[in-house]
Amino acid sequence: MTHETRWVKKVSLPPPSLGDNTADADRLAAALKKSLGTRTIHMDLDLLRRLPALLREWNYRATAVLFKDGGGNGILAHLAAPDSADTLCGLAVDLGTTRVVLRIIDLFTGTHMGESVFDNPQVAVGPDVLARIHHVEKPDGLHQLNRLIVDGINDALRTLCDRCGISRANIHLTAVAGNTAMTHLLMGLNPRWMIREPYIPAVNRPGVIAAAELGIDLHPTARALVFPNVGSYFGGDLIAGILYCDMDQREDTAILVDVGTNAEVVLGNRSWMMACAGAAGPALEGGVTRMGTTAGPGVIDHIAIDPDSMALDIHTIDNQAPRGICGSGVIDLAAALFRSGMIDIRGKLLPDRCGDRFKLKDGLGHLTLVPAGQSATGQDLGITQADLDSLVRAKAAMYTILETITGSVGMQPQDLETFFVAGTFGAYIDPASAITIGMLPDLPLACYHNLGNSSLGGATRVLENPACFDRVKHIRDGITYMELNVNQDFMNRFSAARFLPHTDTSRFPSVRWPAA
Amino acid sequence: MTHETRWVKKVSLPPPSLGDNTADADRLAAALKKSLGTRTIHMDLDLLRRLPALLREWNYRATAVLFKDGGGNGILAHLAAPDSADTLCGLAVDLGTTRVVLRIIDLFTGTHMGESVFDNPQVAVGPDVLARIHHVEKPDGLHQLNRLIVDGINDALRTLCDRCGISRANIHLTAVAGNTAMTHLLMGLNPRWMIREPYIPAVNRPGVIAAAELGIDLHPTARALVFPNVGSYFGGDLIAGILYCDMDQREDTAILVDVGTNAEVVLGNRSWMMACAGAAGPALEGGVTRMGTTAGPGVIDHIAIDPDSMALDIHTIDNQAPRGICGSGVIDLAAALFRSGMIDIRGKLLPDRCGDRFKLKDGLGHLTLVPAGQSATGQDLGITQADLDSLVRAKAAMYTILETITGSVGMQPQDLETFFVAGTFGAYIDPASAITIGMLPDLPLACYHNLGNSSLGGATRVLENPACFDRVKHIRDGITYMELNVNQDFMNRFSAARFLPHTDTSRFPSVRWPAA
C-alpha cells in the first residue's frame, strides 16, 4: 500500500503537451486514481465545468478532497487551490438513540478539532427505538422524526463550527454511525418493518449519499457515508466499533460487547466474525439494558463495601450528592454484597448479614444505600430484591450470550484473550465486579479493554484513513449474524448462569467465595 | 454470459423470512446485480424511501430499469410495477454539428419507436465547430450555445414523444454520441482549449450523468451516457461507429472511415485499434471535408458520362432541378471525367476532350454540367479547375491517411478486407468512383460497407444491450490515437497520391485506363 493515508491529496499534474493531450478531467483523475487506488474518480458536472479554468489558473496543481462511493469508486468531493488556506474538514457522527456526538476533524492533518454532545431531539417523541418506530405510524410521523434529528445535527453543528473557527462549508465529508433505526430515521426511511416479523430494514448498505440530500448543511458537494448494518438489531454503530478496535485485522480472536440501549456482541478475528444482538432473545427483555438509571451527575457508578466495618464506600458521578444508581453501580453493589455475604448465590438479600440497612416493605426486601438525609432527592436511596433479581437475569443473559457465541465456534468464554467493552457500559463498568457476579468471564483484568465511544471512534477512522472506508464494507460483509435461538439448550445455559458467579464455580477460580 | 440482454429486468424476489432477513434494498440489489453482472446497484435516496412500501404492494415483484455508472457499477434508474403498462423507453442521440437525430427505443423489446431529425440550432451561431468554439469567447457565449442545443433537443423531443404516443417521463435512459466539441457544448463545458495547442478537451470520459443535470427533460431520475472521446479531434461519434460495426469484436482487421465535418479513420480488430483524424494534418485543411455543398434536395449526388455520346447522366437528391453538387457528386464526376479522358492523371481539364462544356474565365478552366435553363438557380452549374484541384488534394490526403495508418501496422491499403464507410460520405459515395480516382483502395466492391448513421446506431446499441455499455469503455481505452505527423515521409506519400489513381498504378489494377 503506497497510497497516502488521507482523503486530502495534493496533486501536481504533468502539464498537457502535444505528446500527452489527455483531457483536463482525465489528467486529474489519473493522478487521483493512482493516489487513492481506485479504478475511477467521479466528478460532479458542476466541478467539471469549472475544472479547465481552475487547473490553468493553478498551473496544474491542486488540493483534492476525495471519497469513495458504495461501489468502491473514487469521488472528487472538492477541489481547492494548491496552497489553499481553507481548512478541509470532516464530520464524524455517533448517532445514538439517547445522545448524539459530533466531532470535527481536519482531513489533512487528522487533528480532532472539536466535539459536541447533545441529546437526540427525538427523545421528545419517544425515549427508545420502539416508541419512535411506533410514532412513524402517526400522520407526518416519519417526516417529523427525520426533521428533529436533521435539525438537531444542523443546530449543534452551527455552534460547533463557530467554536472550531470554521464554516460549515469547510466540511466536505461526513461519516455517520448509528443503530439501524436511527440511521433509517436520519435518511427518512420508514423503519416500520424492522419491528414486525421477519424484522426487515429498508436498507443494509446505504452507501454514500450527498450530504445535501440528507439535509445536513455542509459544503454543497459534501458526501456522507452512512455506516451499513447487518440487520434491524445489529447496526452501523457496531460496525464502527469493530473497525475502531481493529477486530477485523487481529490474528487472535477477540470479543466486543456493546451495551447501550441494546446489547450486541461480536466475536472474531481477521478471518471471521460472528455477531448476535441481545434484543433477539425474549429472555433479555428488560434485562441488561434496563438496570438502574442513566449515568449522569449524582448517579452512583461505583460502590465498595469495607469487609470489616461493612460500611459502603460510594462514588457518584461528578461527586455530587447521590440521586440514583446506574448499571455499573448495581453491578459493583451486587459484587460487593456477594463478597461480603449479604446476598446468597441466588442473589437473595440475607437479612441477618444486612443489618439495619435491610427492610421488608409489602413483602419485598429493600436495602438502603444512602439515607434520606444524605441523598440529593431527600429520600432513602436503595435497591430492592426485585432490582437484584433483575440484575441476576441480566447477568445470566449476558453470560449465556457469551457462552452461546463462543460455543458456536467451539470456544468457551474463559478462552478469550481480548475483551473489548464499548459504550456507556464499557465506560463505567468495573470488570472485577462483573466477573465476581459471573456476568463477564473470569479472565485476567488486563484482557479487558474499555473502548469508550467506539461508534464515534469508527466514524472518525473512516474520515482519517481511506483504507478504513474499505474495511467498513469488508467488516459488514464478513459478519455472520447468529439469531439467538432461545431453545431448550439456551434456557439450560441461562438457568445455570442464574447463580453467582455460576453453578459451575470452576469457571470462576478468581472469585473469592463469600465467607458465609 | 447468462445475463439478460436488456436494461429492463423483471424481477421476482424471494420474500423475506426469519431465515432470510436481508433488507429490502439489498434484496432487490442482489437480484439485479446477478442479472446485470455488476458488484453493486446504486439507488437514489428518493427511491429508497419509497421502496419498502412498493415491494410489499407488489408482492416482491417489480420491473427495474437499470443502467451503469462510469465505474461500471449498476444504477437502478427506475422501478415500475411488475405488470406496469408503461412503456419504458430510451433515447439515442446523434449529436451532429450540422444536424441532430433523436431515436426513441422501447428498452424492453428493443423496438425502434420513432426518429426525429433537426438542424443543430447552433448553426445560427456558427456553421462549424471552429466558429462555435470562437463564439464561446463572447459574453454568455457558452451558456447560449448550451441552451440552443438543450432547448433544441427538448423541443424536438416533445413532438417526437407525441408521435410515439409516450410522455417524456417514459424515457429513463439516454445515450448521446457526438464529436468532442458538440458533447462539450451539450454538457456546458468550455471547449476553448480544444483548438489551442496542445488541443486539450475538458474531459475524455464524461461517463453517466443525471439527464436532469444536462437539462434534458426526461423522467426525473433518467440517466445519460455521454460517449467518451479520444481527444479533441476524435469524438464519441466515432466510438459509437466502432461499436456499431463491431470492429472491436472482429477477428479480421477492418477499417472505418467517417467523413462528416471532419475525416476520421480507425483501423483494427478485437485485439487492437489505431485511429487518426484528418484535422490533425495541415495538408488536409480545406480538403476532404470542404468539397461541394451540403447534401439536400436538388443537389447532384451522382453523375455518369456516356462513353460514346459523352452525355452527362445526372442524378439529384429527390430528383429536383439541380442547384449544386455535393462531395459524392464531385467524386463521381471526377471518376467519369477521368474514365472518358476529359481530365488527365493530374486532374487537369483537357479542353480538346471537353468540347463546348469547357470555358476559360479569367484564366481558370470551367466545365458546365447543367446549363442555366435547366438549373434551379437559373445560372450555369459547373465546376472549375480549382474545384478539381481541391478534390485531387482531398483524395490524395484521404489515400495518404489510409496508407499511413495501415503502414503503421505493416499493412497496405489494398490488404484490407472490410472497409466501413460512415456518415454522409458513406451514405452517398460510390466506392467504384472513389477507387477510380484513387481516393479509396482498389478492393472488391463487396468489401465496402455503407454504415449509414453509425453514431446513432452505436448510441442505440448501448440502450439495447448492457454488454454494449461495457464495450464503449473498452473501445475508448483500446484505441491508440496516432498523431498524423506531417513529415517528409507523409508529404512524399501525399505527392505520390496526387495523381489519378496513383503514381503507382499497380495498386489500382481494376481502374480502366483512359483511352486518351
pLDDT in tens, B73-95: 999 999 999 999 999 999 999 99
* Most trustworthy range by pLDDT among A145-154, A372-381, B401-410: A145-154
pLDDT of residue B284: 40
A23 with B53: Cβ contact below 8 A: no
Query: What is residue B281's predicted lDDT score, i.e. its pLDDT?
Result: 38
Tell me: pLDDT of A262 over 90.
no
Q: Which chain B residues in 115-134 lie under 8 Å from chain A, judged by CB atoms?
A: none
Has residue A515 got a pLDDT over 60? no
**What are the pLDDT digits (tens) for B44-65?**
999 999 999 999 999 999 999 9
Residue in chain B closest to A50 (alpha carbons) equals B189
Tell me the pTM: 0.92
- pLDDT tier at A338, thresholds 50, 70, 90: very high
What's at B487, amino acid-wise? N
Q: Which pLDDT does position A283 carry in this prediction?
A: 38
Range A246-286+396-507 has CATH code 2.60.120: no
Fold of B89-226: Nucleotidyltransferase; domain 5 (3.30.420)
B161: which 3 cell numbers? 414523444
* B144-172: average pLDDT: 98
**A277 pLDDT tier (thresholds 50, 70, 90):** confident
Mean pLDDT of chain B: 92
- Of B251, B246, B285, residue with least CA distance to B266: B246
Using CB atoms and an 8 Å cut-off, which of residues 55-94 of chain A contact chain B? Answer: 56, 69-73
pLDDT in tens, A484-505: 777 788 889 989 999 999 999 9
Cβ–Cβ of B200/A23 closer than 8 Å? yes
pLDDT for res A286: 42
Tell whether A213 lies on the interface with B, counting CB pairs under 8 A.
yes
Which of A42, A52, A69 lies at the smallest CB-CB distance from B202? Answer: A52
The Cα B44–Cα B46 span in angstroms is 5
Q: Rounded CA gap, B455 and B449, in Å?
A: 15
Per-residue confidence (pLDDT) for residue A1, from 0 to 100: 38
CA B16 to chain centre: 49
Hey, do B8-80 and B252-286+396-507 end up sharing a CATH topology, with the first three levels equal? no
pLDDT (mean) for A231-256? 96
- Predicted pLDDT at A288: 45
Residue B229 has pLDDT above 60, yes or no: yes
Q: Name residues 336-365 of chain B within 8 A of A (Cβ).
A: none
Residues of B in contact with A71 (CB under 8 A): 38-40, 42, 69, 71, 73
Inform me whether the C-beta atom of residue A48 falls under 8 Å from chain B C-beta atoms. Answer: yes
Mean pLDDT, all residues of chain A: 92
Q: Averaging pLDDT over each range in A3-12, B48-57, B418-427, B505-514, which range is the top one?
A: B48-57
Q: Which CATH class is domain A8-80?
A: alpha beta
Cβ–Cβ contact B108 with A under 8 A = no
Q: All 3 cell numbers of residue B299? A: 443537389
Please tell me which residue of chain B has the smallest CA distance to A214. Answer: B45
- Mutual angle of helices A45-57 and B180-187, in 10-degree steps: 110
Sequence-distant (6+) residues with CB within 8 A of B505 are: B511, B513
B49 touches chain A (CB under 8 A): yes
- Model pLDDT for residues A182-216, shown as the tens digit of each residue: 999 999 999 999 999 999 999 999 999 999 999 99
The mean per-residue pLDDT over the stretch B402-408 comes to 94
Instruction: Write the residue in B21, B26, B201 that is nearest to A203 by C-beta.
Output: B26
- Give the pLDDT band of residue A261 (cuts 50, 70, 90): low
Which helix (H) or strand (E) is A299 found in, with range?
strand A299-305
Q: CB-CB: which of A24, A52, A202 is closest to B48?
A: A202
CB contact set of B444 (below 8 Å; sequence gap of 6+): none
Give the model's confidence band at A427: pLDDT under 50 very low, under 70 low, under 90 confident, else very high: confident
Q: What ipTM score was computed for the predicted complex, to two decimals?
A: 0.92
Q: Which residues contact A424 (CB under 8 A, 6 or more apart)?
A: A259, A260, A295, A327
Tell me the pLDDT band of B325, cut-offs 50, 70 and 90. confident
Closest CA to B482 of B490, B471, B474, B492: B490
How many beta-carbon pairs below 8 A join chains A and B?
151
Q: Which of the following CATH numbers is that of domain B252-286+396-507: 3.40.50, 1.10.3470, 3.30.420, 1.10.1060? A: 3.30.420
- Tell me how close the Cα of A76 comes to any Cα of chain B, in angstroms: 13
- What whole-number distance in Å separates Cα of residue B355 and Cα of residue B367? 9
Mean pLDDT of B506-516: 79
Q: Which of A16, A49, A73 sits opposite B73 (nearest CB)?
A: A73
Cβ neighbours of A51 in B, within 8 Å:
202-203
User: How far off is chain A from B455, nearest CA to CA, in Å?
Assistant: 22
Note the pLDDT of residue A291.
Answer: 53
User: In this complex, is the C-beta atom of A371 within 8 Å of any C-beta atom belonging to chain B?
Assistant: no
Residues 6+ apart with CB under 8 A from B345: B338, B499, B500
Q: Where are the domains of chain A?
A: 8-80, 89-226, 246-286+396-507, 295-390
What is the tens place of the pLDDT at every residue in B327-343?
888 899 999 999 999 99
pLDDT of residue B293: 66
In order, the DSSP letters of A330-387 are HHHHHHHHHHTTSB-TT--B-HHHHGGGEEEETTEEEEEEE-GGGSTTSS-EEEEHHH
Query: Which H helix or E strand runs over A179?
Result: none
Measured CA to CA, the distance from residue A304 to residue A324 in angstroms comes to: 16
How sure is the predictor about B292, in pLDDT bands with cuts at 50, 70 and 90?
Answer: low
Quote the CA–CA distance of B222 and B76 in Å, as a whole number. 10
